Amino acid sequence: MKIGITGTGSYLPKIVTKNSDFLDHRFLGSDGSDIDSPSATIIEKFKAITGINERRYAKAEYNTSDLGFFAAEKAIEDAGIDQEKIDYIIFAHNFGDVTKGKIQGDTVPSLATRVKHLLKIKNPSCVAYDMLFGCPGWIESIIQAKAFIQSGMAKMCLVIGGETLSRVIDPHDRDSMIYSDGAGACILEANPDAGEILNHASLTYSYDEAYYLTFDKTYNQDGCKDTRFIKMSGRKIYEFACKHVPQALADCLDKSGVKIDEVKKILIHQANEKMDEAIIKRFFRIYSKEIPKGIMPMIISKMGNNSVATVPILLDRIRKGLVQDQRINRGDAVIFASVGAGMNINTLVYRF
């Protein structure tokens, strides 16, 4: 039984925030002291490391569940399915709906339930729930959906990844420039005309690494001590990803039956351009191979890091011809991969 993606959709918010929009920010160190560099220098170094020129922020009236709904509508239309026949809706996110100007995330009801409501699906057998797995959440949701279908518990699943990280960033933290908003979705079903998941693997490193990404107070000592923002140990995450992700990719690929020379694309979570380049370089070094040109499509320069939404947005935009000089053809072997809070890693080998 072939279990594959039959439709994709994505939503990128309309508000474009450029690097220059951070020039008037007062960036502080974790101890609350001023960073001894002008904002222009901080931004220039940030761009050199991450590759980010701009990012997207959601309009105030939209929450994460709204972005997920917009992406889901497009995926359902693309697949040409009857949405009443969807068995599971799985929504991967990390912070719930964070209303603009509020200090708490809202996860009751689940974002998946909110999307089902917005889609006006009446079928009570369509089960809706959320996935919390850091940035790898969308890929992990695909893995779960595949298990449901393979076991006979489902025939068709809607898998969504969405986030509004602009609502949980500390304006005094340099890392705030990384994060952005967006959503991506797909329909996964048993269909002889679809592609096929060939292998997948997931890992959680939590002995020393559990708190590399956390939720903590602002760096501004005069700020509200009760409001929490996303915080990360950037250097530790970089070193962790470069050490563990390449081998995770290789292990998953080797068990899939696909040879390294057959891999046409690697769709990897995009949080840092330099980190992704280092990961791919080390991955191909395992096989003593040169990196094929264009194998790792990057859109981080225009999109920023929107966490669980990155990979499904990238996939949808390539399928729709919206990424320059990038396409996926029928029969192509593609690797999906992500690393993030937990610390979690997952990989998936897919043939279109």
Q: Tell the CATH topology of 3-194.
A: Peroxisomal Thiolase; Chain A, domain 1 (3.40.47)
Mean pLDDT, the chain, integer: 94
Residue 206 pLDDT grade (very low, low, confident, very high; cuts 50, 70, 90): very high
Domain 3-194 identical in fold to domain 198-351: yes
Could you list the beta-strand ranges (E) of 31-180.
Answer: 54-57, 88-92, 127-131, 156-164
Place of tokens 């222009």: 40
Comparison of pLDDT for 224 and 119, the residue scoring more: 119
313, 182 Cβ separation under 8 angstroms: yes
- Given a cut of 90, is residue 104 above it in pLDDT? no
pLDDT at 239: 95
- Given a cut of 80, is residue 2 above it in pLDDT? yes
Q: To which H or E segment does residue 232 belong?
A: strand 229-232
Residue 234 pLDDT grade (very low, low, confident, very high; cuts 50, 70, 90): confident
Q: Domain limits of the chain?
A: 3-194, 198-351
Q: What is the dihedral of CA 38, 42, 45, 51, to 10 degrees?
A: -140
pLDDT in tens, 261-313: 999 999 999 989 999 999 999 999 999 999 999 999 999 999 999 999 999 99
Place of tokens 């979705």: 185
- Given a cut of 80, is residue 225 above it in pLDDT? no
Residue 227 pLDDT grade (very low, low, confident, very high; cuts 50, 70, 90): confident
pLDDT at 327: 94
| Mean pLDDT on 88-104 | 92
Residue 109 pLDDT grade (very low, low, confident, very high; cuts 50, 70, 90): very high
62, 99 Cβ separation under 8 angstroms: no
Say which amino acid occupies 81. I
Least confident of 20-24, 129-133, 147-151, 156-160: 20-24
pLDDT at 57: 97
> Distance (Å, rounded) from C-alpha 197 to C-alpha 146?
8
Instruction: Name which CATH class applies to 198-351.
Output: alpha beta
- Rounded to two decimals, the pTM is 0.95
| 166 token code pair | 């602009």
| 308 token code pair | 């669980």
Instruction: Transcribe 280-337 into DSSP letters.
Output: HHHHHHHTT-PPPTTSS---HHHH-B-GGGHHHHHHHHHHTT-STT----TT-EEEEE
